[in-house]
Amino acid sequence: MTHGPIRLTPGAHARLRPATEARITGGFWAARRHTNATVSIPQGPRKLESAGNLGNLRAAAGLADTDFTGDFPFQDSDVHKWLEAASWQLADTPDAELAGAVDRLIGLLAAAQEPDGYLQTHYQVKHPGRRWQDLRSGHELYCAGHLIQAAIAHHRATGRTALLEVALRFAAHIGETFGPGRAVDAVCGHPEIETALVELYRETGERRWLDLAAYFVDLRGHGSLEPGFERDGEPVTGGAYWQDEVPVRAARTVTGHAVRQLYLLAGAADLATETGEAELREALERLWSAMVSGKTYLTGGVGARYEGEAFGDAYELPPDRAYAETCAAIASVQFGWRMALLTGESRYSDLIERTLYNGFLSGVGLDGEHWLYVNPLQVREEYEFRAGDQSARRTPWFRCACCPPNVMRLLASLPHYMASGDDTGLQLHQYAAGRYAAGGGAVTVAGDYPWDGRIVITVDEAPAGPWTLALRVPPWAAAVGLDEGTVERPADGWLRLRRTWAPGERVELRLPLEVRVTGADPRVDAVRGTVALERGPLVYCLEQTDLPPGVRLDALALDPEWVPLAEHRPGLLGGVTVLTARGRVREAAGGEAGWPYGVVDGAAGDPVGDPVELTAVPYHAWANRADGAMRVWLPRARGGTG
């Protein structure tokens, strides 16, 4: 793709700029993107048809006389996100059949749009006359935001304006409706319009869209949606649920509904990038740090609470009830990438890499057609699987189908997140095999990362004179191999190779992929006394299906005397490197009459049984074989980490 989801204005106050060309051509991500392109995205129209989304549009267009279908007001956003995904896919690879499907849906959206530009079938078909009246839950601006993003993607991918015109008509209606002294002076309960409007400003050059985005960002936290939302007599998170509890610039930590929080911060980051405002940038850096230091799972997943789909308190990170919605991982990547461009700091892409390979990718099955809405780090043997369960079993589609098309659009636009450029040269943030042009030069990345740590970068084009190829060194790599030598990880994470390059010149980077036995800060109480296995960017897990018959996952503890080994298994889960470890079976525990508490040594249950060979698989590949127990955090024999 030549232009991805973010195209900065010339005056943007960003340290780095997205690549002007980015293609993933092989390796790990190419395979996942191939499934996305050949299975997930092509299925979209059928899924949207059977779920009723397209029927809703026909009803709004007067082409059918059917009732609104769907449990939620934001059904249209699934269509918009699929159109965005399909557009980025078209930008990557021409496909006449896909292009035709896209045109049909665009035509349907255009037909469904009201003369004044309004477009949301929930209020057109189900509740006519009630538009803009339920800003907390109506999701009207949220849907508009996704429509705008889809339209921009389609325009950038195809150069055509059919969908952009629909989006601009809706945006104009919103601009006439919202604002001080206008019909509505309030925000949407679900942020999303903010980032979309800044990008619309970037796409059209019309300042009014940036101003409208600023209005929405600035109005947050001033009670335009008063709190008081309850369930079972408990306030969920009041204004935090709608991101209306505290102004962005005053916030001390990420809170409330995780997707809403991070879509808002992505939009605020876009705004700070275009305005250069220091106070907003500082708030965003503070909030990102609060998220990373106490509210992010080892997998990069975020959102610890089912209740309100929300961030928990700092260090409240239960592995079993982790919500870690797939959409929240995507929102974290979107926020992080904007901060990476704004600040030029490598730490944002450190987390993006972790999130992409773990908490995000777990959301889509290896087959590209079964999905996870939530991404827990533990499923017990006693887990009560139920019909309609979406917490520990992959599902073909959801009644709330926000995640699948969201995964599709991120995979389709993934090349955009790999590299950037500035006046000095090109920065490689990720190591997906492919070709990236930025900063006045172009490079080709080759290798079989993350299975193999050896990455070969060829400089295809570089300006005459000194030019910098900057390579991000992940924080888990204390030192890396470089050509014939070894270098320590630079403090800022950027290994800068500044020299005069001859086209075709190659650099070999070797990232150390030793198995890491990882523990958690003792304040993360829920995983005290356990460790996780990591290798490179991958977090591993044990699944019941890989255990010998009769061995129960929840009775196992890792043998601390034993060093896990890595072994590539081409035939397993599409080809993964597994980690083999040794566990010991704990003696049966439990107090009298099944009471699970007792004097310490009686309940200690320190593993004493025979050794059991364990095979850990990448977390992102879990739940692709059978329902059953899974854990990322593994107890260790003889106590734990704190």
Tell me, yes or no, if 309 is annotated catalytic: yes
Closest approach of a copy of itself to the CB of residue 468, in Å? 23
Nearer to a copy of itself, 164 or 539 (CB): 539
Of 194, 199, 245, 309, which is the active-site residue?
309
Among 378, 413, 468, 615, binds a copy of itself (CB under 8 A): 378
| Contact call for residue 554 and a copy of itself (CB under 8 A) | yes
Chain positions 383 to 402 lying near a copy of itself, rule: CB under 8 A, are: 383-384, 386-391, 398-402
DSSP assignment letter at 113:
S
Whether 327 sits among the annotated catalytic residues: the reply is no
Selected range binding a copy of itself among 2-10, 43-51, 88-96, 520-528, rule: CB under 8 A: 520-528
Phi-psi region of 197 (alpha: psi -120 to 50; beta: other; left: phi over 0): alpha
From 402, 403, 534, 541, active-site residue:
402
| Of the candidate residues 88, 178, 335, 373, the single one contacting a copy of itself (CB under 8 A) | 373
Which residue, among 333, 5, 360, has the nearest Cα to 150 in the 3D structure?
A: 5
Residue from 11, 97, 181, 231 binding a copy of itself (CB under 8 A): 231
CA-closest candidate to residue 627, choices 412, 370, 399: 370
* Residues 454-483 contacting a copy of itself, CB under 8 A: 475
User: Residue 605, interface with a copy of itself (CB under 8 A)?
Assistant: yes
Exposure string of 527-551, with b = 16+ CB inside 10 Å and e = fewer, is bbbbbbbbbbbbbbbbbbbbbeeeb
Q: Output the smallest distance, CB 344 to a copy of itself, in A.
A: 15
Question: Is 298 in contact with 530 (CB distance < 8 Å)?
Answer: no
Q: What is the distance between the alpha carbons of residues 471 and 480, in angstroms, rounded to a whole number?
A: 11
Minimum separation from the CB atom of position 373 to a copy of itself (A): 7
Supply the minimum distance, in Å, between the C-beta of residue 358 and a copy of itself: 12
Residue window 72-111: x/- pattern of binding to a copy of itself, with contact defined by CB under 8 A: x---------------------------------------
Q: How far is CA 317 from CA 260, 314, 521, in A?
A: 19, 8, 11
- The residue from 199, 270, 309, 422 that contacts a copy of itself (CB under 8 A) is 309
Q: Tell me whether the omega of the peptide bond preceding residue 450 falls within 30 degrees of 0, making it cis.
A: yes
Q: What's the CA gap between 151 and 4, in Å, rounded?
A: 12
What x/- string results for residues 262 through 291 when contact with a copy of itself is judged by CB under 8 A? Answer: ---------------------------x--
CA atoms of 608 and 625, how far apart (whole Å): 30
The alpha-carbon radius of gyration of the chain (Å, integer) is: 25
Widest distance between CA atoms in the chain: 79
Contact 554, 629 (CB under 8 A): yes
Q: Which 166-225 residues touch a copy of itself, going by CB under 8 A?
A: none
**Residue 587 exposure: Cα atoms within 13 Å on the Cβ side:** 9
Q: Which is nearer to a copy of itself, 129 or 596 (CB)?
A: 596
CB 438 → a copy of itself: shortest distance, Å? 25
Cβ(420)–Cβ(15) below 8 Å = no
How near is the Cβ of 345 to a copy of itself at its closest, in Å? 10
List active site positions: 309, 402
